[in-house]
Amino acid sequence: MQKPLESLPEPAGVGATPVPRHVAIIMDGNRRWAARQGRPVLFGHRAGAEAARRAVDAAIDFGVRWLTLYAFSSENWRRPQDEVAGLMRLLHQGLERHMDELIARGVRLRVIGDRDRLDDTTRARIEEAEARSIRNERIDVVMALSYGGRDEIARAARKLAEAAQAGRLDPAMIDERAFARALSTAGMPDPDVIVRTSGEQRLSNFLLWQGAYAELVFLDVLWPDFDASWFARVLEAYAGRERRYGARLG
C-alpha cells in the first residue's frame, strides 16, 4: 500500500536545492512483475498504469514541473498483437476514466511519438485530451507513445533538409537550437534527470538528443511497485549530484 505523502521524509534538496524541473522515466518491469505474480502480461501493464498515476501525483506534490513517461516505444510494436491491443485498450481506458481528475489537478497532457502508426480512434482520443487540458499550467505530463529517439532525430533531420531544399531555410543557419525546434519536444525543457526502473541500466532509445546532459538514475524496483517513496529517492539522488555540463573536470 502506498504511503501517504505526509509520512514520507522530505527529499534532501527540496527547498534548499531546486527540485528538477523535468523528470523523465523509462517505466520498465511490468512483464517481470506479472511473471512473479504468476499472472498474464496485461495484468502487469494494468498495474503499471496505476503506478504511472502515482508518479503523476507524486510529481505534482513534490513540485516537479515537467514529467515525461516512456509509455510505448517504437520497438514495442513488435510485441505480440494481443499485448499491443491490450496496451492500447489501457490507454483508452485511462484517458476516459482519469482525464477529468488529471485536469482538475492542473495537468496539461502532451503526447510525443509517431502518431501515424496509431489507429484513428486512439489519435482522436489523444487530441481530445490534449485540447481539453491545454490551458492547465501546474504540470506538463508528456507521454512518449510510439516513440523512438533515433526515429525522432531522423524525422527532424528530414524536416530540416526538406525546408532547406525548398528554400525556406539556409543550411548555414542549422545549429543545435534549430535542430531542437524540429524535434517533437520543441518548446519543452530538456530532462534534468532520466530514471529507469527494473534494475536495467540503458536508455533504450529514449530522449537521445534531449538527454545529453541529464543525470541518470537507475532504480532496482519493478515499475508496478513504483510509488511516492521511490520518487522521493529520485529527488534525493538528483540533489546529491553536481551538474557541470562539461564546464570543468575533476
Tell me the sheet residues that pair with 110.
Answer: 142
Rg (CA), the chain: 19
Q: What cell was used for 201?
A: 541500466
Q: Where are the alpha helices (DSSP H) in 105-217?
A: 120-133, 149-165, 176-181
Give the distance from CA 159 to its chain's centroid: 24
- DSSP label at 20? P
155 found inside a domain? no
Closest CA to 87 of 145, 149, 24: 145
Per-residue pLDDT tens, the chain, 250 aa: give them. Answer: 333 333 334 444 444 458 999 999 999 999 999 999 999 999 999 999 999 999 999 999 999 999 999 999 999 999 999 999 999 999 999 999 999 999 999 999 999 999 999 999 999 999 999 999 999 999 999 999 999 999 999 999 999 999 999 999 999 999 999 999 999 999 999 999 999 999 999 999 999 999 999 999 999 999 999 999 999 999 999 999 877 665 554 4
**Spatial separation of the C-alpha atoms in residues 178 and 161, rounded to whole Å:** 12
175 carries a ligand binding annotation: no
Angle in degrees, 0-180, between the axes of helices 41-62 and 81-104, rounded to the nearest 10: 30
8 found inside a domain? no
**Spatial separation of the C-alpha atoms in residues 3 and 6, rounded to whole Å:** 8
**Spatial separation of the C-alpha atoms in residues 24 and 30, rounded to whole Å:** 17
203 carries a ligand binding annotation: yes
39 carries a ligand binding annotation: no
169 found inside a domain? no
**What is residue 17's predicted lDDT score, i.e. its pLDDT?**
55
Residue 41: give its domain's CATH number: 3.40.1180.10
pTM summary value: 0.90
**CB of 25 within 8 A of CB of 55?**
yes
163 found inside a domain? no
The number of distinct structural domains making up the chain is 1
Q: Point out the catalytic residue in the list 61, 76, 136, 225.
A: 76
**What is residue 9's predicted lDDT score, i.e. its pLDDT?**
40
**What is residue 244's predicted lDDT score, i.e. its pLDDT?**
66
**What is residue 241's predicted lDDT score, i.e. its pLDDT?**
87
99 found inside a domain? yes
Closest CA to 195 of 65, 74, 2, 55: 55
7 found inside a domain? no
**Spatial separation of the C-alpha atoms in residues 189 and 214, rounded to whole Å:** 11
**CB of 124 within 8 A of CB of 92?**
no
**What is residue 166's predicted lDDT score, i.e. its pLDDT?**
97
50 carries a ligand binding annotation: no
Q: Point out the catalytic residue in the list 28, 140, 190, 192.
A: 28
143 found inside a domain? yes
Q: Is 102 left (phi over 0), alpha (psi -120 to 50) or beta?
A: alpha
75 carries a ligand binding annotation: yes
31 carries a ligand binding annotation: yes
Active site residue 76: yes
45 carries a ligand binding annotation: yes
171 found inside a domain? no
Range of 136's domain? 17-148+190-239
